[in-house]
Structure formats: C-alpha cells, structure tokens
Amino acid sequence: MSTNILQSEDEGAYDFIIIGAGSAGCVLAHRLGEDPNVKILVLEAGGSDKSLFVAMPAALSIPMNSKRFNWGMKTEPEPGLDGRIMNLPRGKGLGGSSSINGMCYVRGNPLDYELWSALGAKGWHWENVLPYFQRAETVNGGGPLRGQSGPLHVTRGTERNPLYHAFVKAGEQAGYPMSANMNERQHEGFGPMEMSVGGGARCSAATAYLKPALKRGNVRVISHATVDRILFEGTKAVGVQFDRKGKDCFARAQKEVILSAGSIMSPTILKRSGIGPAEELKLHDIDLVCDKPSVGENLMDHLEVYLQQECLQPVSLYNSMNLLGKAAIGLQWMLTKTGLGASNHFESGGHIRSRAGVIYPDIQFHFLPLAISYDGKTLANGHGFQVHVGTKRSKSRGWVRLRDKRSESLPRVCFNYMTHEDDWLEMRACIRLTREIFKQEAFAPYKGVELAPGDNCISDQAIDQFIKDKTESAYHPCGTCRMGSDVSAVVDVNCRVNGLQNLRVVDASIMPQATAGDLNAPTIMLAERASDLIRGKTLPPAEDAPLLAATDWETAQRSKRVSRDYANDREMLMKSLLETNRA
C-alpha cells in the first residue's frame, strides 16, 4: 500500500468496498449484504437523493438539470456534429443516474445478450440473464417471463391520453407488429412502455436496493466521497483513497474492491489508479500498475432526435404546462401519488429495424403527447406531440481520457457521434420512417403541421444538417471497460479486471455492446448477476427463453409477425448477429 496515505484518516476495513452508489452499486450492496457476516462500504461522490423532484416521475427534467444531482459534464467538440459540445448528464448522489433518468424500463431485445456472448462475453446469453431480470422485478400485471417479487417496481402508465393509442395504431397501420409487452416475449413492434415507478413514485436503485440494505446494519455509505484512486500491493487491490469533504481518507478491502462508478467515471478512476494506456498515464505522471490500452476506449451511446407535430385537438398535455396546471398536478401527486405527476409520460413506444438485413430492432421510439424541447426547458406554443427516435447500435466509438490526475477534475469525453457512415443511413431512416408513421390514418384527427424538422427538411443534405444541429444524447453511455474473453478486454466474463487481483468493474461500462433500449434495466440485471458471480453461484438458465425474429428479416424492413425462434439454432444466430453488426 502506498506510503502517502499515512497522513490520511483511516475509515476502517471492510470485506467489500463498492465505489459508486448508482444503479449497479446499490444492487451489489443489497445482494452482497444478504450475508450478515459480510461488511460493506459504499463510497458515493454525491449526497442524499431526498427530493420531491427526484421522487415525482413527471418532474424528471428538474433533477436532470440540477447541479446537486448531476455531475454537469460536457463532451469535447464532436467531430461528426460540426464540433458541437454536447450535454452529458450523469447522476451524482444516491441512486446515481437512476435518480435523474427518464425511468423508462426496457430490458432490451433478447438477441442483445446473444450478441454480447458472440462478442466474447461468454455465459451472458438470454437464458442466463433472464432469471436476473426476473429476480430484480416486481411487475404490475406482468406475464410468465416477468418477476413478481423483486425490489424494483415496474408499472405501465394509465394510457388515458388518446394520442398514446394513436401512435401504436399508426405503427400497426404502417405494417409493423404489435406487442402487448415489449419486455416479455416480443420486443420488436409497437405497444405500451413500462417505467421504474412504484406506488406513483420513482423507484430508483437507491429506493429499491440500497435503503433496504442499510437497514440490515452491515452496509455503510459514505457520501460526498470523491475517490482519488484504488490502492494496490503489487497487482492486488487492497483499498481505496478518497476525499471526504476536503479530508483525505482511506479504507481497506479484505476481499475485493468493486468499481461501479459508471461508464465515464469508472475508467477515469482506473486511470488515476495506474490502470490504463501507459502513454496516457505517463503524460499525467501517474505510476503504472497495469498497462491496459482498452480502458476508456470503445465508448458507445444512443443518439436521438425528436419529430414534433402540431395537434389539432386540445388533447395533449399542453394545458397542464402553465403554473396553475403544474401546481394542480403537484398537489394531487403529493396527496395521492396519482394523476399526471405519477407518470414519466413515455407511455407508448416501439422498436423497429432500420432496413432489410438487420436481424433485430436498431431503432427505438419514445412517444410523448406534448411538444417540448429535449431538456424540458422550451415548450411549443400550442398543442402538439412528438416522438423521440434514435438508433440503438451505432458503430461510432469514442473515448474517456484524463484531463489531469486530480480527483476533482472531470475527464475529457468524446463520443465521436456520427463518424461511421452507417450511422447516417440509420438516422435518416429514423426521420423518414417516423414521418411515414405520423401520416397513417390513426393520426388523421390530430395531426397538423410538422413543427420539427419541418416540411422543408426533405433531402439527405437537409436531414443531415437537422441531425447535426438537433440530435441529443439519450444518456446511455457504455462500453469503456469492455467485458470479453480476448486479451484486450478490460474485464473477464466474471467482471474481474484482467491482470489484477481483488478488483472488479460492475456497471454499464463493461457492456460489450449497447442494448436495444434504455440502459438502466440491463445495468441492474448485470449487477444482479455479477453479485452471484462474486459469491460463486449463479441461477440456473431459464427454460423458457425465446429468441424471436421476423422470418423475412433478410429481405424485408418490416413484418407483421415476429415468430422465428432461434433458441435451438444458436450457431446460425451467432453468425447472423456478427455479420449484421460488423463495423
């Protein structure tokens, strides 16, 4: 252990030290803490999550734009977007990004996890991960593939607004399949969306996992603890050095240090600890513990744009957006936890394929019965509706690099958005396919003029410029500490950092590929399974784990039926997945 901790305050010894109280860290604290003989320390850079605005689903844009709950990160100028500097909200506080996100609960497509395995994450097949989704969930009205007794509460909205049903019906009229529940057997198609909400309030990872864990007495959280570095004896992780409100502190790990700081901060902490590309560490005068060129590389995200339409009937949420309307919503929610305040308002959506030859959906829709800016700050002048649409398997890759070695410095982040030519094909498809859906008969009673991009945005050149100007991150970074079986992978399939002892990374940074949907549910699943891997046990594979795709996916962009089950033909499936997702 380094001698320069001698002047630091000793916070004691623990079996496990978990860095980060975000989605993954909360799950790990809960599950590892089920053993009463285990002592756990959780270090969190932020503070308490207690806030009406965090708890109230409809208020989601407030904590997302708050310095208290958000690290306030920005990207470097993005070369594929004419040098735009992008907003990059990341959760800071108990629950991490699950306390500021949009609460959309999307497992992803079962084929996502077959692709993980094909890319080297052996053992992370759908049949292996499905039991952990089930263990995590309590689903209101769920089917046989859903969990009924997990910590995380998942619900559907009331779908009282007719525009939600118009969107789903329009998808069907455009020739796409319907899905009664896109988190169960059939992910592809249009249908209702689910949200991580229980009893009318946000069900963050802190609410679901951490707070029950703290009641047991063997889990301790130190908040406002900014981790400087992981401490090593040779290549063995033995503790963590951190700053606590201006005071240098350290704690010792008798079993393992588990890094769960997220896709931006996990590689940053690894690098400050001497684990990363040797040349970058040398540039910042950091002693090398393990030369790992892949740390901080392979950064992925989901990009989205929104298409807005004027609504000809006064059925959108516009009338509720004035001060009086918001006050009424807030009062009803505080008194009863019901009404518009109890919803994230993304109550219907869809997953489709961008073109023929794509085996499973690479486009996602989040429908909103309101026309409003992405950050929730600018409202259209009148009734409207919009859909957030974006691609799920972009081939562009970015990076996370140190600004300097000080723990208070945020890293440099560049996603290299839209720097792969296929991304342009897919994003143009997002806009054109959405316009086709909005032109269906189901929207005829409601659809007025197109507010964005606008009727003059027709050519590829005009659409490309709209994308450059208006596309935004969906806030789903992943991949910077990639899991795999090859020598360049940062962690192995048990989440252990290759070449080191007693150190794991467990969060979205280890995903080999972004999933086809919002990332919070897969991150929670990942941590659920990792907690068992750490304890040396895993749940048995699911016996009913279908892998569905359209029978004509090679020749058709859309199909009314999604019925081919690849579960008994995994060799062909793996080949198709790798071929259709090759950069």
CATH number of the domain at 207, please.
3.50.50.60
Secondary element (H or E) of residue 16 = strand 9-19
In sequence order, what DSSP letters do the residues of 89-132 get, joined into one string?
A: --B-STTGGGGTS--EE----HHHHHHHHHTT-TT--HHHHHHH
Per-residue pLDDT reduced to its tens digit, 227-278 = 999 999 999 999 999 999 899 999 999 999 999 999 999 999 999 999 999 9
Residue 551 within a domain? no
Across the range 504-532, mean pLDDT stands at: 98
Residue entry with tokens 């963590």: 240
Contact between residue 95 and residue 21 where contact means Cβ atoms under 8 Å apart: yes
Instruction: State residue 31 phi and psi, 5-degree precision.
Output: -75, -45
Percentage of the chain surpassing pLDDT 90? Answer: 94
Across the range 386-397, mean pLDDT stands at: 97
**378 pLDDT above the threshold of 80:** no
Residue 381 within a domain? yes
Percentage of the chain surpassing pLDDT 70? Answer: 98
Q: How many CB atoms lie within 10 A of CB 167?
A: 27
pTM: 0.97
Structural domains counted in the chain: 1
Distances (CA, A) of 330 to 134, 338, 403: 33, 10, 41
Residue 9 within a domain? yes
Contact between residue 78 and residue 85 where contact means Cβ atoms under 8 Å apart: yes
Residue 541 within a domain? no
Of 190-204, 373-387, 423-437, the one with minimum mean pLDDT is 373-387
Residue 149 within a domain? yes
Query: Which range marks the domain in which residue 325 is found?
Result: 3-535
Across the range 59-71, mean pLDDT stands at: 94
**3 pLDDT above the threshold of 50:** no
Residue 363 within a domain? yes
- Running DSSP on this structure, what letter comes out for residue 93? S
Residue 542 within a domain? no
Residue 553 within a domain? no
Per-residue pLDDT reduced to its tens digit, 279-295 = 999 999 999 999 999 99
CA distance 83 to 441: 40
CA distance 411 to 508: 17
Active-site annotation holds for 476: yes
**In angstroms, how far is CA 34 from the centroid of its own chain?**
26
